[in-house]
Amino acid sequence: MEQKEVLFGKTLDELKVVVKEMGLPGFSAGQIADWLYKKKAGSIEEMSNLSKKARAQLSERFDMGLTPSSKVQTSADGTKKYLFPAHKNLFVEAAYIPEEDRKTLCVSSQVGCKMGCLFCMTGKQGFQSQLTAGEIINQVRSIDESDLLTNVVYMGMGEPMDNIEEVLKSLQILTSDWGFAWSPRRINVSTIGVVPAMRRFIEESEAHLAISMHSPFDEERKKLMPIQQVYTIEQVIETLRDYDFGRQRRISFEYIMFDGINDTAAHVKGISKLLNGLRCRINLIKFHPIPDSPLRGTPHERMVWFSEQLNKKGLVTTIRRSRGEDIYAACGLLSTKTLVKKDEQQDY
């Protein structure tokens, strides 16, 4: 049987095309968007201000496209890891992180990832497939705590800038009046610095941007993050300097700390030179070793020292509390643990 298209994840403009094609009145596009993103309808049948005939027509061509999670794990500290089925029996993860003043969901943007960062479990899977905007937003919509959420961060599986079309579309749905109508200031999108797509993100979205730095030094960053071969952290920062981010939009740098590797006084100096004059903050993140990794996390006292040194250089630095360690739900380090066999392995 041919698979139906899905409604969830369509922008208002796309819905306008749909209603036009189906001969429905133009205003029904807004009504459908309302049911999808505001009234949180579970089915097309629930869209009661559309005529019965319109609903029947819609159902013939479309599924809603909502997917419940297939598994939930709760950590001792309340962090919850949701698994959502995706492409070809694979799944992606979303981590719900409750704190006193905010409830954050960390969403995935791809199944697997092509970027191959040395310290990352998702990278170990290689790339499996892109998520659609609907599949990204579904994570926000389909968790038990959906209505409690105050923030969304795109720091789960995948590199958001490597799926820029769908990520931008998902942001549009989250922040438009006809969509979830969230303020873009409640959303933070991370990148390792894929410069051309990062430019599009900066220009076409108002959400915050978090850049994974992990080392200020070319040779070292190359070994940790192959992206450095083509888009260096210097170029990423130069690109940021092309823009005026205003006072509301936040740029931050994520810095996972590896024991004896990127936690020295030279690194403090390197970072402060690189970020000179840029209005930003730095988040230091404790590394929890992944299986078979040659890297170890910097001890807490050393992280505190590192943070103080950066503060002394005038850089606003925080040590990010790590949450959900026992279920591998630290953002950027989400893992499906079981690695899937890849087709491409026959090539080598």
Partner 1 sequence: MSQPVRRKKEVFPTKVLSNTEITPGVFSIEVERLHDFIPGQVVAAAINTSDPLRLYSIASGKEQPFLRLLYDVKPGGLLTPQMARLQKGDTLYVSAPFGRFTKAPDDAWWIATGTGIAPFLSMAESGQTQGPTLLQGARYLTQFYYADFFKTAFGERYLRFCTAEEHPEVIHGRLTNYLKESDAVQAGRKYYLCGNANMVVDVRDLLLERGVPFENIVAEIYF
Active site residue 331: yes
Q: How far is CA 83 from CA 67, 245, 283, 329, in A?
A: 11, 35, 26, 11
Q: Any contact of residue 117 with ligand SF4 (CB under 6 A)?
A: yes
- Burial per residue of 153-177, b for 16 or more beta-carbon CB atoms within 10 angstroms, e otherwise: bbbbbbbbbbbbebbbbbbbbbbee
Helix (H) or strand (E) holding 97, with range, is strand 90-98
Q: Which of residues 204-223 bind partner 1 (CB under 8 A)?
A: 206, 218, 222-223
Q: Are 112 and 122 in contact (CB under 8 A)?
A: yes
Return d(Cα 211, Cα 215) in angstroms, integer. 11
CB of 226 to ligand FAD, least distance (A): 9
Q: Which of helix, strand or coil describes residue 322? A: coil
**Part in contact with partner 1 (CB under 8 A); list of ranges 50-58, 194-202, 312-320, 325-333:** 194-202
Partner that binds at residue 177, options ligand SF4, ligand FAD, partner 1, none, CB closer than 5 to 8 Å by kind: none
Quick note: the x/- pattern for partner 1 over 143-182, rule CB under 8 A, is: ----------------x--x--------------------
Q: Tell me how far, at minimum, the Cβ of 93 lies from partner 1, in Å.
A: 18
Assess 160 for contact with ligand SF4 (CB under 6 A): no
Residue 106: helix, strand or coil by DSSP?
Answer: strand
Q: Which residues from 67-106 bind partner 1, rule CB under 8 A?
A: none
Per DSSP, the three-state class of 5 is strand
Burial status of residue 256 (CB atoms within 10 A of its CB: 0-12, 13-18, 19 or more):
buried
Cβ-based nearer residue to partner 1, 338 or 346: 346
Q: Which does 345 bind (CB under 5 to 8 A by kind): ligand FAD, partner 1, ligand SF4, none?
A: partner 1
Q: Which of 17, 148, 230, 316 binds ligand FAD (CB under 6 A)?
A: 230
- Rule CB under 6 A: say whether 254 interacts with ligand SF4: no
Closest by CA to 151, choosing from 222, 117, 214, 102, is: 102
**How many whole angstroms separate alpha carbon 110 and alpha carbon 122?**
10
What's the CA angle centered on 68, arms 67 and 72, to 5 degrees?
140
Site string (124-163) toward ligand FAD, x via CB under 6 A: ------x---------------------------------
Q: Should residue 110 be labelled a site residue for ligand FAD when binding is judged by CB under 6 A?
A: no
Nearer to ligand SF4, 63 or 325 (CB): 325
3-state secondary structure (DSSP) of residue 270:
helix
**Judged by CB under 8 A, does residue 199 bind partner 1?**
yes
Considering the complex, state which of residue 122 and residue 188 has its C-beta at the smaller distance from ligand SF4: 122
Residue 219's H or E segment, with its range, is helix 218-224
Distances (CA, A) of 4 to 64, 189, 213: 9, 30, 41
d(CA 144, CA 80): 10
- In the list 9, 65, 134, 158, the residue contacting ligand SF4 (rule: CB under 6 A) is 158
Of residues 187-206, those binding ligand SF4 (CB under 6 A) = 192
Report, in Å, the least distance between residue 178 CB and ligand FAD: 23
Q: CB under 5 to 8 A by kind: which of ligand SF4, ligand FAD, partner 1, none does 122 bind?
A: ligand SF4
Per DSSP, the residues of 8-44 read TT--HHHHHHHHHHTT--TTHHHHHHIIIIIS--SSG
Closer to ligand SF4 by CB, 270 or 332: give it. 332
Collapse the DSSP code of 56 into the 3-class scheme (helix H, G, I; strand E, B; otherwise coil) and give the result: helix
Site residues (vs partner 1, CB under 8 A): 113-116, 118, 123-124, 126-127, 159, 162, 194, 196, 199, 202-203, 206, 218, 222-224, 226-230, 232, 242-246, 292, 294-295, 342, 344-348
For the annotated catalytic residues, the residue numbers are: 93, 331
Site residues (vs ligand SF4, CB under 6 A): 113, 115-117, 120, 122-123, 157-159, 192, 332
